[in-house]
Amino acid sequence: MYLWKYWHETRIVFGLSLAAIVIALILILKTQIGPSSQHPSFDQLAWILPSALDVQAYPVCFVAWLLGSHGVGRDLGEQSGSYLFSRPRSRAFFVWRDWGLGSAQLLVIVALLNAVLGVLIYKFLIAAGDLLHGSIVLQGGPVTLAFIIWLNIVAAFLLAVLVFSITYFFTVLVKHSKGVMVAAGVLLGYIILEMVVKHYWPGVDLPPIVPSQFDVHSKIPGLLNHLAIFLVIRAGIILLFPFAAQLVLEKADL
């Protein structure tokens, strides 16, 4: 019942996202890509792969932002939260129900989107001659396209679930779906702060919103050695927000 409620609220956003991905796949499959001077050469493909994360960042973050506006925080704004919390479930259950299902939806969207981007890149790879049979030279060594797509899935999901978690937290904090505007302001403010700090204090590096550690131009051995550590740190930061939302609900007087 409770999972169905969140699904009922978010099914339109989720369905439209999947429909857009399917349309993109159909267009890509129908597009004939042959050898041309306008297409990237085999050597230039390494520069296209990092942009795959940048290209999807905006739509993925927008979907995550929309999904974060639903759930308990929205229920409180619509004055149905008191009824929900009268049910035989803890308040923590509702937080993790929303967060878990929302994250699962984002994972499906991100995985399918990157699979479609992988098809497009593979078509460019074939047009460029596919000299390494599905691999691209990065930092002097061949790296499979499948591995790069997997990294992009992980990076895009970490970005999406971070935006989702921040938005969900502020929706609960404000006790209204208008918390999405607060979350948008916080995210935009942090991006501006990053640029200001980088301009005036080049030696100071704030944690980036977009996981720059997944830049495929970084050395693959170093990337692999630090990947697990980065994942743990980023996951810990992300989990702070649903835990904070749970704490807010536990102390809220409804």
Give the residue-averaged pLDDT of 68-92.
71
- How far apart are the C-alpha atoms of 184 and 146, rounded to whole Å? 33
Q: Which residues contact 241 (CB under 8 A, 6 or more apart)?
A: 165, 166, 168, 169
> What's the chain's average pLDDT?
78
pLDDT, position 84: 64
> 145-174 and 220-251 are packed helices; what angle lies between their axes, rounded to 10 degrees?
20
pLDDT, position 105: 96
pLDDT > 90? residue 78: no
Q: Hey, is 220 helix, strand or coil?
A: helix
Least confident of 34-38, 103-107, 160-164, 207-211: 34-38
Q: Give pTM, 2 decimals.
A: 0.83
> 145-174 and 179-200 are packed helices; what angle lies between their axes, rounded to 10 degrees?
120
CA angle 253, 236, 251 (to 5 degrees): 10
Extract the tokens encoding 115: 């699979």
pLDDT, position 37: 46
User: Which residues lie across from 138 on neighbouring strands?
Assistant: 141
Residue pair 14/107 in contact (Cβ under 8 Å)? The answer is no
- How far apart are the C-alpha atoms of 106 and 123, rounded to whole Å? 26
- How far apart are the C-alpha atoms of 63 and 55, rounded to whole Å? 14
pLDDT > 90? residue 60: yes
Residue pair 215/141 in contact (Cβ under 8 Å)? The answer is no
- How far apart are the C-alpha atoms of 209 and 1, rounded to whole Å? 35
Give the residue-averaged pLDDT of 213-232.
55
